[in-house]
Copies of this chain bind each other. A is one copy, B any other.
Amino acid sequence: MHAIIHTDASSPSSLEWQTTEAPCITNGEALVELHYAGLNRADTLQAQGHYPPPQGCTDILGLEASGVVKEANGATKPDGSPWNNGDEVAVLLSGGGYAQYAAVPHGQLMPIPEGYSLAQAASIVEVACTVWSNIMMTARVNEGDLVLFHGGGGGIGIFGIQLAKALGARVAVTAGSAEKLATCKKYGADILINYKEQDFAKIIAAEGGADVILDIIGAKYLDANISSLAKDGHMVIIGMQGGVKGELNIGKLLSKRGTISATGLRYRDVDDKARIVKATIENVWPLLADGTITHHIDRIVPITDAAAAHEALLNGEVTGKVVFDIPRPHAE
């Protein structure tokens, strides 16, 4: 098969469409012919050498994709019915999405959301599983809660705003420009904070505190996030764009009876991923099908242009998802 090969470890842009061995499936895996793959910031980190794949996983980039089942190998859907060869699927991956074929653990096969194209489906998997698992399975958003998303204008933020609103929460966001905040407002955010001009902790505290915070900043926001927590609030850190180590004021955390979790999707084991995928299909897919949550693709580009797409993402030139179109093996 063909896949994007990272040919030079020292150069993040050395992403070339080359011939490589197709994956072999083992017990519990299905073989999927991939037609589209989603581009994630994590892919750019991996290309920079900062986000190694889990042990035993392929080095090929790509955490989400869509395509057609080639060998179901006994896979069943969450409802118990079988996956069949030829079924269209979206897939959650630990790696390997930038390729014509992937070996996918049975629990990470997902139906295409009703009304979604394969390109749309390929690019919603990672964000949907990430946001659902964090704000509902790790923290637990309740109706009437205040939920704070940092980076409101990014993919996680835009999806999170819509999901939290659908769950009956009030939503606050931080972002770095009036334009991004306007986007957040369009998707339903109630409280808009420009972190360059305003003190988010003060504003959130004045609103009674955030019951749930989804954070991508890490150390730099640690103390301000704790100041922002409501009583019994829960902050979940999923990114460390603002540093890895920070001072924790345990006394302040205790005064809120607060909780801090730091999580990720990629290194979970297959059972854990299956649990998250199942919950996401049950709870999020209907919200995609009925349009409660909308999904914006910025552009679909040939996967042979992966290097340029990474660069565009890193240069801030992308406002929705970038999707890679993967050439079909039989068309080559």
- Contact surface of A with B, Cβ cutoff 8 Å: 138, 218-219, 222, 237, 240, 243-251, 253-264, 267-268
Contacts and interface: CB of A to CB of B under 8 A. Distances in A.
Contacts of A261: 257-260
A161 B116 CA distance: 53
B250 A262 contact: yes
Given A257-B268, A258-B261, A248 B245 contact: yes
B247 A247 contact: yes
Stoichiometry, copies per complex: 2
Contacts of A246: 247-248, 250
A222 B240 contact: no
Nearest to A250: B218
Most buried by B among A222, A247, A248: A248
A217 to B, nearest CB: 10
Contacts of A222: 248, 250
A131 to B, nearest CB: 16
Given A259-B259, A260-B259, A260-B260, A244 B250 contact: yes
A267 to B, nearest CB: 8
A6 to B, nearest CB: 23
A231 to B, nearest CB: 8
A258 B262 contact: yes
A254 B237 contact: yes
Contact of A263 (B245, B248, B249, B257): B257
Closest 4 A/B residue pairs (Cβ): A254-B262, A248-B248, A244-B251, A253-B262
A108 to B, nearest CB: 18
A240 B264 contact: no
A218 B246 CA distance: 15
A311 to B, nearest CB: 26
Contact of A237 (B247, B250, B256, B267): B250
B268 A254 contact: no
A240 B250 contact: yes
Given A245-B249, A259-B259, 6 more contacts: A222-B250, A245-B247, A246-B248, A254-B262, A254-B264, A257-B264
A243 B254 CA distance: 13
B263 A254 contact: yes
Nearest to A218: B250
A251 B240 contact: yes
Contacts of A264: 254, 257
B250 A219 contact: yes
13 contacts: A222-B248, A237-B253, A240-B251, A245-B248, A245-B249, A246-B247, A248-B260, A250-B262, A254-B263, A256-B262, A257-B268, A258-B261, A260-B261
